[in-house]
């Protein structure tokens, strides 16, 4: 996992992602149960084949509205980049709302397919990662932890970095289920 905290390093990473076709994204929010929630982390994955977290990026943007704006302007508004989220409506509250383009929501895709066809007990990301993608060490206990504290714990960083790994695997699995098998014969 790459935990980025320096503004110049974060901007460089954002600039590098401008050529990506697809980004798997997630957010962590501090004070989410208060009237003033604050975006704490943006998690990014460009390699959907990563199942370990080595290619995931965690951008620490707490108290850095300029970096959040830069991410929105250069990634979220770019129509050429597909942005994949689970429960996108939540993350988009903090990442550009209606300015965001080319959004894929794995929760909506999973709902369209249905849990019966998927063979899962529910459509939460952690459930889909476990029951659909066979991840066996999914721990959601950090989901409601204090994302406003610094320094973040090792467990928090692991949770944040792995969320986009689970997301990419779930996305790939949902696509394979939702697309009809292609015939190998051509006429």
Percentage of the chain beyond pLDDT 70 is 96
Please give the pLDDT value at position 140. 81
Q: Is the pTM higher than 0.85? A: yes
pLDDT tens sequence across 13-26: 999 999 999 999 99
pLDDT tens sequence across 140-175: 878 888 999 999 999 999 999 999 999 999 999 999
Please give the pLDDT value at position 180. 59
Q: How confident is the model at residue 182 (pLDDT cuts 50, 70, 90)?
A: very low
Computed over every residue of the chain, the mean pLDDT equals 93
129-135 long-range Cβ contacts below 8 angstroms, 24+ apart: 129/166, 129/169, 129/170, 132/170, 132/173, 132/174, 133/166, 133/169, 133/170, 133/173, 135/51, 135/166, 135/169
Please name each of the domains of the chain with its CATH number.
2-178 (3.30.420.10)
Residue of 81, 74, 79 lying closest to 59 (CA atoms): 74
Four-residue CA torsion sign, 90, 95, 101, 103: negative
Percentage of the chain beyond pLDDT 90 is 87
pLDDT tens sequence across 37-72: 999 999 999 999 999 999 999 999 999 999 999 999
Q: Are 123 and 107 in contact (CB under 8 A)?
A: yes
């Amino acid at each position: 996992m790459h935990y980025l905290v320096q503004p110049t390093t974060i901007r460089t990473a954002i600039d590098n992602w401008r050529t990506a076709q697809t980004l798997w994204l997630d957010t962590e929010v501090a004070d989410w149960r208060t009237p003033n929630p604050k975006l704490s982390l943006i998690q990014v994955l460009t390699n959907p084949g990563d199942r370990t977290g080595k290619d995931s990026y965690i951008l620490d943007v707490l108290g850095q509205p300029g970096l959040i704006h830069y991410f929105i302007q250069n990634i979220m508004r770019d129509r050429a980049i597909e942005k994949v989220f689970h429960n996108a409506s939540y993350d988009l509250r903090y990442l550009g709302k209606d300015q965001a383009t080319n959004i894929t929501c794995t929760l909506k895709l999973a709902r369209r397919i249905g849990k019966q066809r998927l063979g899962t007990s529910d459509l939460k990301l952690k459930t889909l990662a476990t029951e659909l993608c066979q991840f066996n060490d999914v721990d959601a206990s950090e989901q409601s932890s204090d994302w406003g504290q610094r320094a973040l714990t090792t467990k928090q960083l692991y949770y944040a970095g792995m969320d986009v790994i689970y997301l990419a695997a779930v996305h790939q699995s949902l696509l394979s289920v939702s697309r009809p098998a292609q015939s190998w014969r051509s006429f």
